[in-house]
Structures are given as structure tokens and as C-alpha cells.
Amino acid sequence: MSKIYEIDPDADTLVVVRPLADAFAPWPAHDHNGASPTSASPAVPTADVRIKVSSKHLSLASPRFRDILAQKAAASASSQTSSPTRNGYKTPPASPGKTTPNNINSNSLWRKEVAPPSPPHSNYGGSSYSQTEEADGRIHIVLEGLDADAVTTVLNIVHGRGGKDRVPKTVSLEALARIAVVVDKLKLQDAVEIYADRWVDAVGHPSASNSRRELTLWIYIAYVFQRDAIFREATKIAATQLTGPLPTLANLPLRAKIAHDIDAQRQEAVSKALDVVEGAVDTLLANSEDNNADALLLGTLLRTLHKHKAVWPRPAAPYAGVSIAGIASAAHDVQTKTWQTAFRLGDSTRYNNTNNTLKLTPQLDSLKASVAGLTLKSELGYNLY
């Protein structure tokens, strides 16, 4: 049975939220970036949620809702041109010479500029919706592809119902991502800005310890709520840690250009790291015949890099399975293990001289730190995504 949630007791509109067809943003089980233990999402609800709301509040807050309601008005006007009344309100007579191209009275209570009636179902910004006028006298707007709890929270904010029982003071990263999808698809950034700033600050910041899925949620949240510093940090971590492009996650409409640009930075960093590694190998090959420490370092380096798919044959773009963080970490491990072995053999001085000459790990660390991440706006202030 559908759950009914009343936001406006005098509601003229009923928003019906269909249950998600798929789990929210599940991480692929066999993705090239590796599955995460935290990739599972909560169970999908099985019933509609019906929310009583005001069309005036929806129109003022959301251009998406405004267009949906305008299309409904156009469809109703088109079907009732011979009727003197509309939902109990008398339509003013048309003024001569002041009709729209669709023959809709320009002095009507409805919008002057209206689009032609749309099909009963259409896709709007990635979310399916439809609108019908039911026996209860309300306009019904059906939303799909959105989380019902997130929709309810956002519509409470839109209607000024900000009590703690209606709008939480803090939310989890998961809940914030679900809210971000609603805000993004219905263009409600201005309406929820104050709450969004509070929620984002309370959740914290992205870090390298986040799972791949959590990092993806952070990128999307920062994009939707225009938090440039967080967006830059999250995309920087992704470009250094990921071993392939971000996958498409169900019910999370991350822009394809964002995923593409992150992977472009990843590939550029990996290519430069491989150049550094090959330079170190060439140097060690030239010295290994006369230097046991160099031979030891060369052997250990080649075995470790081969294990991480980072040497012969040199991986080709798009470097699937390889990350700059993985290469840098492997080099750190190689030099630590080799130094310990050289110390036991009494050859640590010669090893240290080679290590200082190569500067392998400092070069890779510097390269990893140089990955910039993405920014939301250009230098001239234009939105890039």
C-alpha cells in the first residue's frame, strides 16, 4: 500500500514517487577499479510514496516542476477549449488579437507561453515523470528514478517545513548523495543551499581511505552543490588512485565529461610515471654488471613492477589496471626491501649512493602530488560541467 505524506494540508498537487527500479549506485562487482566491501546499497522499497504539496511552491522553487505544471496547464486548456470553466475557476474571455500560437488566451490564469501538450510520459533530465488530474481534484506528478525519502526531505525544505522531524540537521554520505540526485534533476540548488552547506560540512571531506564508491558519491555531491574545493580534492584522489575510468552507477547521474576528464588526468600521470620507471631501469642496467647493489635493486624493481603490470611489455593507453598511486607505492616497497637486503649483505653504502642518484621515489611522489584534479569553473567564471 502506498504511503501518504502530507506537507501542505491544502495541497492542490500530489507527487507520487515510484520505488527505485535498481539499488542506489551499486558498485560493479567486477569493475577494473576493484569492488569495495561498502559497495552494497540499502534494499529497494516496494511501494509508492505519495506527497501532498503546493503547486505554487513547486513552481517557484523548481524550473523542472514549473515546466511540468505548465505542460499540464497547456494540455488541460487544449482539451477544454469549449468549456467555460476549468477546475472550478472560470477562464477569462479571450481578448481580440491577443492569443498565443496555440490559441491559448494571453490573459488566462495559466501561463501565457505554453508548450504544446506533451505525451503522457516523457523523460526529463534523466528522471521519468508524468502528470494526470485525478478524481481527488489534484494534479498528480509521478517521479521515477529518485529516492522517496530524499524527495520528501527536499519538498519539506521547498515548503518551508524545516522542523527537525521533517528535515534532518545531519545526514550520511549515502543520504546526501540521494538528496543530491533529487536536487540535480529538479534544479533545486537555490532552495536547499543553506541546508546543503550544513550537511556537506558535517559529513567531512573526501580522502584516499574512501572506497571507490564513496569517492564517486563525493564527486557527484560536490558537483551538484558547487563545492569547488571538495570537487577538486575528490577528483584529484580519483585520478591518482583509480586504475581505470569511473563506471556508470545506476540512479547516480554523474556527468560523463567529469568521468572522462578524471581518467584523462589518470592516464597522463601513469604515462609520465612509466617514463620515470623506464629511466631508472635503464640506469640500473648500465651499472648492474659492476655493482651488486644496483643488480639487486634492478632485479627487485623488475619483479615488483611486473607484478603491478607496470613494465615489459609496457602497458598501452588507457593503462587498464594501473594507477600512479600503485606505481609509487610499488617503488617505495622495492627500495625499502632492497635497502634491508643490502644492509644485511654489508653493501648498504653503495645502495644508498645508487638510490640518491636515481631519486626514483621522490620523482614518483612529486608526480603523484602534481595531479591537479578538476575544477568546476574556468578562470573566467564559466561552468565547466
pLDDT tens for each residue of the chain, 385 residues long = 678 999 998 999 999 999 998 899 999 887 666 545 455 555 566 789 999 999 999 999 999 999 988 887 787 777 666 445 444 444 444 434 444 444 433 333 223 233 344 444 444 444 555 555 566 778 999 999 999 999 999 999 999 998 878 999 999 999 999 999 999 999 999 999 999 999 999 999 999 999 999 999 999 999 999 999 999 999 999 999 999 999 999 999 999 999 999 999 999 999 999 999 888 888 878 776 666 667 777 788 888 777 766 666 788 899 988 999 999 988 888 777 766 666 666 665 656 666 666 788 889 999 999 999 999 999 988 999 9
Residues 6+ apart with CB under 8 A from 188: 61, 62, 154, 158, 182
Measured distance CA(311)–CA(162) in Å, rounded: 57
Q: Find where cell 475557476 sits.
A: 89
Q: What pTM did the predictor assign?
A: 0.80
* Predicted local confidence at residue 282, as pLDDT: 84
* Predicted local confidence at residue 284, as pLDDT: 79
Measured distance CA(342)–CA(295) in Å, rounded: 11
The grid coordinates of residue 54 equal 503546493
Q: Which residues pair with 53 in a beta bridge?
A: 13
* Predicted local confidence at residue 129, as pLDDT: 55
Residues 6+ apart with CB under 8 A from 228: 222, 375, 376, 377
Tell me how far apart the 2 most distant CA atoms of the chain are, in Å.
103
* Predicted local confidence at residue 213, as pLDDT: 96
CA 272 vs CA 27, 125, 207: distances in Å: 29, 38, 24
* Predicted local confidence at residue 149, as pLDDT: 95
* Predicted local confidence at residue 48, as pLDDT: 92
* Predicted local confidence at residue 110, as pLDDT: 29
* Predicted local confidence at residue 47, as pLDDT: 86
Instruction: Establish whether the linkage from the previous residue to 92 is cis, with ω within 30° of 0.
Output: no
Closest alpha carbon to 222 in 242, 204, 241: 204
- Helical (H) or strand (E) element with 129: strand 127-133
CB 4 within 8 Å of CB 52: yes
CA 19 vs CA 47, 145, 250: distances in Å: 6, 8, 14
Instruction: Establish whether the linkage from the previous residue to 117 is cis, with ω within 30° of 0.
Output: no
* Predicted local confidence at residue 355, as pLDDT: 66
